[in-house]
Amino acid sequence: MRLCSTVRGIRREGEESVLHLAGGEEIRASIVISAEGVRGRLARQAGIMPPEVILSGAQVEVPFSVEDPESVELHLGAAPGLFAWVIPTGEEAARIGLCARSRGWQHLQRFLGQEGIRERILGSATAINVGGLPLGPPARTVAEGLLVVGDAAGQVKPTSGGGIYPALVAAKVAGRVAAAAALEEDCSARRLQEYDHTWRAILGRELEIGMRANRMLNRMSAAELDDVLGYLAARPGLIKSIEEHGDIDRPSRLMVRMLRRLDWDGLKLAGLLRYALG
C-alpha cells in the first residue's frame, strides 16, 4: 500500500499494468482502478477519451449577509454552463460560486458585482477555489487492466454538478468486477466491459437525461427561463410535486410526474420536458 504517492504514468506490459510513481518507484498490478479526478491522466494515457464537456468552476468564501442559513440560493442564467450558487456556512458567511462553459473566474467576478449579491458581501474573500467539472461520460470507461470511476469518467450529475452519489455507485460496481476478474486471472478490456455495462444500466439514463436538460437550459434565453419559472411558481400543484417527488439523483421521476400536471398553458414546458426525457 502507498499513501500520498503521485502516479506519473502507466504502461501495459503483458498481463500487468506498470505504474510510475513520482519518486521513481514502479508498482505492478493486474488491475488498476483510476479515480484520479477531472484530469484523468492515467485514463487518457490508456486511450479513454475525456468527458463530453469540462466546465470551468470557481468559488469564493466570503463574509456575507445571509437571508436564511438553512437555504441554498441557485441563480440560473448567471453564466452559460450550469448555474451560480450561494451556500451559507453560517449567519454571516457563505460560499459563492458558479460553473461556466469557459472562464469561470471571470463569470464569478461579474456575478459577485451584480445587484442583490454585491451589497450583501461584508468583506474580502477568505478562500478561493477554481477547478473543472466534467459532464457527459465518454463512450467507454475501461481499457486493458483499467477501470475508470468518478470525475475521470464523467460520472457527474449534469443538473446539479454533484458527483458523490454516482461515483460511489460506480466504485462499488468497479470493485466487484475488478475482484472477480483478478480471481479469474482475466483482466482484459473485454472482461472488464462488465463494469461499463453495469454502471450504465444503473446510472446511464439519468446522466443522459441530465445532459439533455443541461443543453436545454443553455439554449434558453433569460426571458424563456423567467417564463418557465413563473409558470411553475403560479401552480401550487406543480410545486407540491417538486417538494414531494423531487430526487436530485433521479430527476426523470420528477419530470414524468410534472408532465401529468401540466395544463394547456404548459405545452411549451411539456415540450422541453419531453425533449429532456428523450
Residue 252 pLDDT class (50, 70, 90 cuts): low
Can you give the pLDDT at residue 231? 66
* pLDDT tens-digit map of 156-169: 999 888 889 999 99
- Residue 268's pLDDT band (cuts 50, 70, 90): low
Tell me 48's DSSP state: P
Q: Would you say the pTM of this structure is higher than 0.85?
A: no
DSSP for 212-226, written as a single string: HHHHHHHHS-HHHHH
Residue 106, SS3 per DSSP: helix
In the chain, what are the domain boundaries?
Answer: 7-48+138-203, 53-134, 220-277
pLDDT at 269 over 80: no
pLDDT beyond 70 at 244: no
pLDDT score for 257: 59
Q: Which pLDDT does position 262 carry in this prediction?
A: 55
Domain 7-48+138-203 has what CATH class? alpha beta
Q: Does 50 score more than 80 pLDDT?
A: yes
CATH T-level fold of 53-134: D-Amino Acid Oxidase; Chain A, domain 2 (3.30.9)
Q: What is the mean pLDDT of the chain?
A: 85
The C-alpha angle 61, 67, 73, rounded to 5 degrees, equals 65
Please give the average per-residue pLDDT across 6-11, as a whole number. Answer: 88
Strands 32-34 and 146-148: parallel
